[in-house]
Chain A
Amino acid sequence: MRLRKRMLDDLDQDIRDHLERETQDNIERGMSAEEARYAALRKFGNVTRVKEETRDVWSVVWLEQLIQDARFGLRTLWRSPGLTVAAVLAIGLGIGVNVGVFSVLNGAALRLLPVPRAEQIVSVNQILHGRTSRDIHGEASMFSYPEYLNYRDHNHVFTGLVAYEPFVEATLAGGNVEQLLGTAISCNYFGVLNEHPAQGRGFVDSDCAASGGNAVVVVSDDLWRGRFAADPSLVGKRIILNRTAYTVVGVARPGFRGTEPIPSAFWAPITMQKAFEPGRDRLADDNMSWLALLGRTQPGVTMQQVRADLGVIAGRIDQLHPGRTTSLAIRTATFFNSPEERSFLIPVASVILAAFALVLLIACANVANLLLARASARHKEIALRLSIGASRWRLVRQLLTESLLLSLAGGVLGSLIAFWSFLKITQFVISHLPHGLPTFVVNVAPNIHVLAYALGLTLITGIAFGLIPALRSSRLDLNTILKGDSVHSGPGKRSGRSLLNALVGSQVAVCMVLLLAAGLLLRGLYYAQTVNPGFEEKNVAEAFFDLRAQGYDESRATAFVERLRERIGGDPGVIEVAQAECAPLSHDFSVGTFTVPGRPDKISIEYNHVSPEYFSVVGIPIVRGRGFGPGENAPGVIVTESTARRLWPGEDPLGKTLREDGGEDSVIGVARDAQVSHLGELNTTYLYYPAGPRDDARTYVLVRYAGGFTDVAKGIRDASRSLDHDVSVDVIKLEDNLEIWRAPSRIVAALSGALGALALLLASIGVYGMVYYSVNRCVREIGIRMALGANGGDVMSLVLWRAMRPVLIGAIIGMAVCAGVSQVLSSMLFGLSAHDPIAFVCVPLFLLAVALFASYIPARRAVRVDPMVALRCE
């Protein structure tokens, strides 16, 4: 380093000495002093370049130059504050939106679990191949209890392996009856996760010693604060969950809401499973998927070792089940671990990120436009520097430094806004989800992933919008520029314009894709809001009773429901009360496999058990035959029209028979088609059985009313409470079920609408800037035309045509791309038609109108130019 300094400090002196010596030699050879000096200089070559190259030899030069470039860049940016602010805002917007979306996805899919040393926690899932038939409660990739014990006791890689059943529903009795979502856990859960309750204790092995033996519970901080008003003496007290008394042994740490995206309100030992779900003993069942597995790896154990070790155990289990092979999916645990969830989440996330990246692309194109426009103003400066010996690469680097400074400023601004606003936005969205969707927690706070993403995006952006202008403006025809013809000596006038045109065209194309997608989604939403589901959803209240979970047996349940219906039926304003196994569009489905005499194939048909009043309460007419009579339990079924057409085409369905599992039913009536199972699917096969006492333990009560909903809802709650204080009942409007079906398309439509508006704003700024710039470039041409007698209208249409041509081309490309994309969208979202004519006509017209307006303003300015001014200003 010292050597370098000594060498460079004396460089000027050395070169001067050298030149003097050479001059002296020349004089001795007989030249005049002046001649000798010139000859020496000629022989030496370009002094500045020699100095540059000599400095380059000492490699840290790049750092020096970077600082130098950054300083110079800052000065330049400072000198044109308008451009700087516009560019920083455009990039900030683009990067901000992208970083925000990424931080949400990061919170959902990439963040490790919120427990100490989470990087050691791995999730284990299994995929079963081959001839298997298995009960699934939750997801297919989960484990049975005996399988869990096998992995827990025979692995050599974990300090502990945890099993839990996510989403255990329980009714909390006392005061306001409340429906809670909790977790049944193996008793090493808190210990292995290293998660210590804020009060009291977690579970110990003895809590899980015997099945149903130890009724203890840890409650969440939210439940403790909300329901128990932060009672400091709650630990040690008893609470009633699903009719069983549990002793509270602990209150969880405030930040810990469990290991699933939906927060858990309590944790109970897995051995209490039977108390939560009476009548089912899952612990003994070796062929049921219901437990999620998390293990903490021993220090120094690699993922490979984990896979190998657990693979051996899986192989041993497979030997007990001939014809079955298990493959394990093992990964560092996040909130979404199972292959099912990930295979859904990852493509959706990619589509979303791609859409937002498109917006950033538009912002980039805008900034590139601005820089190109400015580069033409800087031709002289650049030409001068090239001519005194700066290398082209050096100039490109300097221009890139400038654009990176811009993108860095934009990135920092955008990221800060994103970190702040997306916290608020996520809260807002989650609190405005329709009633009935579970709340979930997403931690969108920035972490290392988000910061890395923001930084990477910023750098790519800086290079993306800076590279083309930098490369172009450093390739100049020096002679023309230095002679002073600054306007007409861009890097090839024609190619300059075509590049601008390409930028504008691509902006318009991207914008068109986003806007069209938004338009299609909005149309789909409109259709979804107005579609007739085939039943009358208004003025019907829906109440769900899961009495089996409350410990009711069949006869008690029947007695309860009968008395309940009597009371509700007597309420003022109530017209009719019905019962059903599945309420319309309630996301409750029952499917059976049937055969029809005379047909070889098996047909799976969705079915429902309904009381006789069902058809009139939800307004589905019986079009042939009869409905069910009171007390009917005979083997008769009612099919829908589509089912009749499908099973007995061209025949009278009445009296035909259907077989299922040995039973045989004859058709007594035909009901009109209705979208009671999936909104948007009209022609699915569906049939109705008469409801019997067996169905009372788990039933929907549907009430058609004439007055206000609140009174009816209160009547139902009061009736239920007067019969049994501890039964939880949730009364909603039947039409709310439709909202849940519509929610995804509404959210997506709102999102893409906002994105499309942003894209439109950016693209119209881009079009405006481009036209403004190109009009400025041809002011002289316009002046000449006007001076020669062209009229304003002709010039105007010329300018507009030049501006609109790339817009039109971009619009057509965008429409073509969107036609392809909408095929995919329409399969994903309800009610969407891939080639909706209204969207495909209105959106392009709208976009073109905006573009036309954006080019009209600068064009008008051009036409008003006084020819003399235009000609003189050259």
Chain B
Amino acid sequence: MSTKEQKERIELLQGTLDLLILRTLLLGPMHGHAIAKAIEFRSDDVLQVEQGSLYPALHRLIKRRWISVEEGTSENNRRAKFYRLTAKGRRQLVLETNRWDALAGAIARILRPAEQESES
């Protein structure tokens, strides 16, 4: 029951989770549960998002006006909040994606120097 460990994990996920949410919403407006499902599904169940942490992230994105929220009815006729990517969010997504690519590439070059060289 150590709060410290959990906190570190949340911090580790934070930026990444925002990016994943933005990318997921590119497909169209979704409600919270659907976003979680989509992330799991699209990552072939590799990424097990702790679903609760989705909500602080959603609220953060709303506050930054990268996504907007609207009331709607879900597939089985239940009222739900639907989250939609805003124009600002779209721009942010491009920016974040580029940044992520750069980061991933850099880390990959450090971790696998030999493969990189042999490929090139």
What residues make up the interface of A, taking CB atoms closer than 8 Å to B? 3-4, 7, 10-11, 14-15, 17-18, 21-22, 25, 43-47, 49-50, 53-54, 56-58, 386-387, 389, 391-392, 478-479
Contact = CB atoms under 8 A, between A and B. Distances in A.
B91 interface: no
B53 interface: yes
Given A7-B62, A18-B33, A392-B3, A54 B55 contact: yes
Interface in B1-57: 1, 3, 7, 10, 31-33, 36-37, 48, 50-53, 55-56
B26 to A, nearest CB: 21
Contacts of A45: 50-53
B88 interface: no
Contacts of A389: 3
Given A17-B33, A392-B3, A7 B56 contact: no
B99 interface: no
B59 A57 contact: yes
B1 A478 contact: yes
Contacts of B37: 25
B50 A57 contact: no
B32 A50 contact: no
Nearest to B81: A14
B109 interface: no
Which interface residue of A43, A58, A389 has the most chain B CB atoms within 10 A?
A43
Task: Report, nearest first, the 8 A-B pairs whose CB atoms are least far apart.
Answer: A45-B52, A50-B52, A53-B56, A21-B33, A57-B59, A45-B50, A44-B52, A54-B56
Interface of B: 1, 3, 7, 10, 31-33, 36-37, 48, 50-53, 55-56, 59-60, 62-63, 69, 78, 80-81
Contacts of A18: 32-33, 36, 51
A386 B3 contact: yes
Contacts of B48: 43
A391 B1 CA distance: 12
B81 A10 contact: yes
A115 to B, nearest CB: 54
A15 B36 CA distance: 13
Contacts of A10: 81
B79 to A, nearest CB: 8
A17 B80 contact: yes
B57 to A, nearest CB: 9
A18 B55 CA distance: 10
Given A43-B50, A45-B50, A386-B3, A11 B78 contact: no
Contacts, number: 65
6 contacts: A7-B69, A15-B52, A45-B53, A53-B55, A57-B60, A58-B59
Contact of A58 (B51, B63, B78): B63
Contacts of B62: 3, 7
Nearest to A45: B52
A58 B63 CA distance: 8
A391 B3 contact: yes
Given A58-B59, A391-B3, 19 more contacts: A3-B62, A10-B81, A11-B55, A14-B55, A14-B80, A14-B81, A15-B52, A17-B33, A18-B51, A21-B33, A25-B37, A43-B51, A50-B55, A53-B53, A53-B56, A54-B56, A386-B3, A387-B1, A478-B1
Contacts of B33: 17-18, 21-22
Nearest to A10: B81
A825 to B, nearest CB: 51
Nearest to A53: B56
Contacts of B63: 4, 57-58
Nearest to B68: A3
Contacts of A58: 59, 63
A511 to B, nearest CB: 40
Contact of B55 (A15, A386, A392): A15
A552 to B, nearest CB: 90
Which interface residue of B10, B51, B53, B69 has the most chain A CB atoms within 10 A?
B51
A346 B80 CA distance: 69
B59 A7 contact: yes
A4 B37 CA distance: 26
Nearest to B51: A44
Given A7-B69, A17-B33, A387-B1, A57 B56 contact: yes
A22 B7 CA distance: 24
Contact of A17 (B1, B59, B78): B78
A49 to B, nearest CB: 7
Contacts of B56: 50, 53-54, 56-57
A20 to B, nearest CB: 9
Which interface residue of A17, A25, A391 has the most chain B CB atoms within 10 A?
A17
B58 to A, nearest CB: 8
B51 A22 contact: yes
A741 B10 CA distance: 72
A634 B82 CA distance: 116
A43 B50 CA distance: 6
A11 B32 CA distance: 11
Nearest to B35: A18
Nearest to B62: A7
A17 B80 CA distance: 8
A192 B62 CA distance: 62
B51 A14 contact: no
Which interface residue of B10, B53, B69 has the most chain A CB atoms within 10 A?
B53
A22 B80 CA distance: 14
B50 to A, nearest CB: 4
Contacts of A11: 55
A44 B55 CA distance: 10
Which interface residue of B1, B3, B31 has the most chain A CB atoms within 10 A?
B3
Nearest to A390: B3
A25 B10 CA distance: 25
A122 to B, nearest CB: 51
A377 to B, nearest CB: 22
A391 B11 CA distance: 14
B52 to A, nearest CB: 4
B9 to A, nearest CB: 10
A783 B94 CA distance: 72
A413 to B, nearest CB: 38
A473 to B, nearest CB: 15
A17 B63 CA distance: 22
Nearest to A47: B52
Given A58-B63, A387-B1, A14 B52 contact: no
B94 to A, nearest CB: 24
A125 B78 CA distance: 83
A17 B54 CA distance: 14
